[in-house]
Structure 1
Amino acid sequence: MKLIDLFAGGGGLSEGFRIDGFDFICHIEKETSSCDTLRLRNIYYYLKKNNKLELYNDYLNKKISFNDLLNFVPENVISDVLNLEINDDNMGYIFNFIDDRIDGKSLDGIIGGPPCQAYSTIGRGKNKLKKEKDERIYLYEYYVEILEKYQPKFFIFENVKGLLSFKDYKDKLLLPIILKAFKDANYIVNYKVINSENYGVSQRRERLFLVGFRNDFYLNNDFFNNLETYKSSAPTINELFSDLPELMAGESKDEYSKSIADSVYTREFRDANSDFLTQHFSRPNKENDLKIYKLISEAKKQGINLKYNELPDELITHKNTKSFLDRYKALDGNSVSHTIVAHISKDGHYYIHPDSNQNRSISVREAARIQGFPDNYYFETSRTSAFKQIGNAVPPKLSRKMALTILDIFNNVAEN
């Protein structure tokens, strides 16, 4: 089944669909660092298929440069990544790019969702006056435009659950308008808020998924009911981090603390062909923040979510002590994480490591594991961009189960 990924980000949704039965025509994404990550992931799968992963590991070990790596890869391996913003000015180019890659064949599916910040409940009051001019609100129209042109068999559209209650500048609920646009484009659509924790992801992450099938298909299988057959429990944070070496703030380590044989809870994240650990580095922090981190994480062990205004006076530096009182938050080692969001790219105050002895915010690799990315997934090109890509991603462990559900449905159609 031939797919395109719109608003692809760092590739979390794509990663789940990189299995037999699916083939990507293209990934379209405006952020350059995310596109670099997508290209590198394409290279990983090419080298894996051709039994040359030692070259990928050499790149991760900084033995060769990215340009050196490209010498071993055909150009078409990375040419499906289009680094371009989806907007009015670029739609003609985007259509031509897709047409060239489809080469007269039909498109089977579209996955992806436009940036979610416009629909979020956070800052909604502040953003109210900008609605008429905020182009992010209406990015779904490009999604519909592409659906109308290529008429794929299905699509998966992901966004924050705030879309359920979001109103446009005319004070009308936007979701019914989006649903009507999909219906007018010839799709039968169902939607549901999915919590990733129920699908093996160590994170309470609720996101809205709209799944549509072209209305000329007779599908007696409901996507979301089928998806529930793939539910599974998630490891706790302590279990998830159990083979990652201890770090202090500002440190980095590249070797696991346990062998893969001893990594009961985390073997699925590990690469059996490599013991090299990447991107397990943490931010350096100011002394005042480290003192706060220690208090917050120790209180969390006692089941207490210590508020900012409850800190010792000498540690309180913000004038605002009446709102945003949970601006510092520790993970619960005996449970799953709260939602990882893109703000983690700005600071780690909301993601303090559960081990107060390490006294830091979580590393890039720890954040990636919480999202369900395998350890061989490498995020380009900086710590900040890596955190942003992770925070914006659909957990690959969830998207893999969505991909399997799509295959189940179409296999059932073929049998009938």
Structure 2
Amino acid sequence: MRSAEQHRARTLKIEQLRAGGAPRVLELCSGCGGLALGLKSAGFELAAHIEADPLAAESYALNFAADEQTRARWAVARDMVECSADDLVNDLELGSETTAVFDILAAGLPCQAFARIGRSKLRELAGGEHDAFRKDPRAALYRRFLDYVTDTQPLAIIIENVPDILNFGGHNVPEEICEVLEDAGYRAAYTILNAAYYGVPQIRERLFLIAIADTLNVEPTFPDPTHFVELPRGYESSRSVALKYVAPDSRRFRPIHRPDRSLGKAVSVREALGDLPKIQEHWSDPKAMRRRHVTDRLPYRKGTKLSDYAQLMRTWSGFESLVDVDGHVVRLTPRDFPIFARMSHGADYPRARAIAEAMFARELDMRGIAPGLKDSPARAALWKAMVPPYDPAKFPNKWWKMDPFRPSRTLTAHIGKDTYSHIHYDSQQRRTVSVREAARLQSFPDGFRFAGAMNAAFRQIGNAVPPLLAKAVAEQLRKDLMGAAAALPRAIRRSRAA
């Protein structure tokens, strides 16, 4: 049975909302702040966060701290397993009981153990152990998250993860979380949202779970789509695997949105990137590219029509960037620049490999090297210099050249090591995406800064919740919260707070 103290903690928070206070957020596993930016833009107050990656924590502090003292405290990397809610409140000197400080508890829990794309890597690291993903300690962090629910007594909860968390070795983790939260006095629901349906120039499916304290007497809802796009082949089958263990009669799972064709078209890659500076130094002057830093700024491209999306990225409140912008660093991979230039839009690695082999054959002919001399050192050296080494049968999606007229494919944290999944559509530039372009595809505004060098910035961007998607979820939640708080009869509120 839930205690009177629990009811009192929650109803006092309701009174604060009715008095005009902004809902205060504690975010766990915050990363650099994609979810936080969405929440802040929707009118929530960022009260505290926990992030184990030092550079991601520094980015969060860099972008959201109101003063130097707060920035220093927020830049400290913390582990949610080792740091309790009480520890955090004391460390940040928030000056109140832990149950009274936060109205919203949010988390983008690490997805590596849940994502199918990450399970093979975990299996490799474990020496081929088939179910290594089950033993990854990150897979149990959702249970630690539930400890924070008990300790902070939030009015609402947001969890974001990959859809594969619905089928974690045959176990539907969100369903379990909902059951626990209902026992703790919440109404909970979950669904899959696609970022492209909410103005993000990227087809990115994510699981969202929302829970609201039953004191508020309202069911969780999810935002309606604002944009339409036909999903590429493969998304439906991928969804079906994730949804395999969602019971047909589940009262917690909400049907996946099917946007109406009458909505505006999803934001395309060209609309997202077309006004950003051209980058050619990687092949015209590699030394200049090596000297460039993520923080170095270049003026926006002139003479291009500014899309509504690009205008938003330049003028996002609190993150404006009107004259120039940073993040123009790219990987130096000279072997592959000619291949990038020859790839057509939408082409993937098998096509790239075929292009490389054709270029190699022409070069053999020009040099007078007989193609049948397999053991020729000159032939072997040329092959290594011109042809990527990956087997097309094993890596069909390793490379991809973006289609300028459609949203991008999903950005992942792996872009911190390899950006070949997002080759720029402009063949004249013959390169993979820059840090700022990756940030644009993820819907980070141009004034958002990333701590660390290129690889760290890429990793933070790939790990993040797209801010525009987060904003849509947050706006819907705030509407539900404020409406429920206003509708709650005063007599009931007083009796519950007594």
Decide: shared fold, TM above 0.5.
Answer: yes
Question: Which secondary structure does the structure 2 equivalent of 1:376 belong to?
Answer: coil
Question: Which has the larger displacement, 175-184 or 335-344?
Answer: 175-184
* Within-5 A mapping of 1:74-89: 74-87=68-81, 89=82
User: Distance in 1 between the 2:265 and 2:326 partners?
Assistant: 26
Decide whether the 8 Å contact of 1:230 with 1:401 is kept in 2: no
Match of 2:314 in 1: 270
- Aligned equivalents of 2:176, 2:485: Cα separation in 1: 33
Q: What is the SS of the residue equivalent to 1:350? A: coil
Alignment correspondent of 1:345: 416
Structure 2: distance between partners of 1:113 and 1:273: 27
The 1-side partners of 2:106 and 2:307 are apart by: 33
Contact 1:28–1:81 under 8 Å retained in 2 = no
Aligned to 2:110: 115
One-letter identity of the residue aligned with 1:242? G
The offset of 1:212, in angstroms, is: 0.8
How far, CA to CA, are the matches of 1:20 and 1:337 in structure 2? 25
User: Number of matched residues?
Assistant: 376
Q: TM-score, normalised by structure 2?
A: 0.70
Q: What residue number does 2:24 align with?
A: 2
Task: Name 2:160's counterpart in structure 1.
Answer: 158
Q: For 1:372-393, what per-residue CA distance to the aligned partner results, in whole angstroms no more than 9, with x for missing partners? A: 0100001001111100010010
Displacement of 1:14 after TM fit? 0.1
Q: Higher Cα Rg: structure 1 or 2?
A: 2
Residues 173 and 362 (structure 1 numbering): CA distance in 2 closer, same or farther, change over 3 Å?
A: same
Q: Which residue of 2 aligns with 1:196?
A: 195
Paired with 1:319 and 1:304, the residues of 2 have a C-alpha distance of 16
Matched, 1:368 2:367: no
Matches within 5 A, 1:282-321: 282-285=330-333, 287-296=334-343, 299-300=344-345, 304-305=347-348, 307=350, 309-313=353-357, 314=360, 315-318=386-389, 320-321=391-392
Cα distance per residue 1:247-297 (max 9 Å; x no partner):
123546611113899565411111466412111222221x3221322233x
Give the secondary structure class of the aligned counterpart of 1:208. Answer: strand
Residue aligned with 2:190, SS: strand
Q: Which residue of 2 aligns with 1:359?
A: 430
Structure 1 unmatched runs, 5+:
47-72
Tell me the equivalent position of 1:336: 407
Measured in 2, the distance between the counterparts of 1:209 and 1:380 equals 27
> 1:323/1:270 Cα in 2 relative to 1: closer, same or farther (>3 Å)?
same
Give, in whole Å, the separation in 1 of the partners of 2:303 and 2:50.
Answer: 38
- Superposition pairs for residues 3-402 of structure 1, below 5 Å? 3-19=25-41, 21-43=43-65, 46=66, 73-87=67-81, 89-91=82-84, 94-97=87-90, 100-101=93-94, 103-104=96-97, 105-124=100-119, 127=123, 128-131=130-133, 133-167=135-169, 172-219=171-218, 222-224=220-222, 227-228=223-224, 233-248=265-280, 249=282, 251=289, 254-258=298-302, 265-271=309-315, 274-285=322-333, 287-296=334-343, 299-300=344-345, 304-305=347-348, 307=350, 309-313=353-357, 314=360, 315-318=386-389, 320-402=391-473
Q: Alignment partner of 1:118: what SS?
A: coil
Cα deviation, residue 305, structure 1: 4.0
| Further displaced range: 24-33 or 180-189 | 180-189
Contact 1:27 1:82 in 2 (8 A): no
CA distance 1:329–1:243, shift in 2 (3 Å): same
1:172/1:281 CA distance change after superposition, 3 Å: closer
**Structure 2 unaligned regions, length at least 5:** 1-22, 124-129, 228-263, 361-385, 488-498
* CA–CA distance in structure 2, aligned partners of residues 336 and 230 of structure 1: 14
* SS of equivalent residue, structure 1 residue 101: coil
Give the Cα separation in 2 of the matches to 1:405 and 1:98: 32
**Residue matched to 1:56:** none
Aligned CA distance change for structure 1 residues 74 and 378 (closer, same or farther; 3 Å): closer
Q: What do the CA deviations read for 1:123-161 (whole angstroms, capped 9, x no partner)?
A: 535633324531011000111000011110101100001
Percent identity (aligned): 28
Q: Is the 8 A contact 2:200 2:441 kept in 1?
A: yes
Q: Is the 8 A contact 1:282 1:363 kept in 2?
A: yes
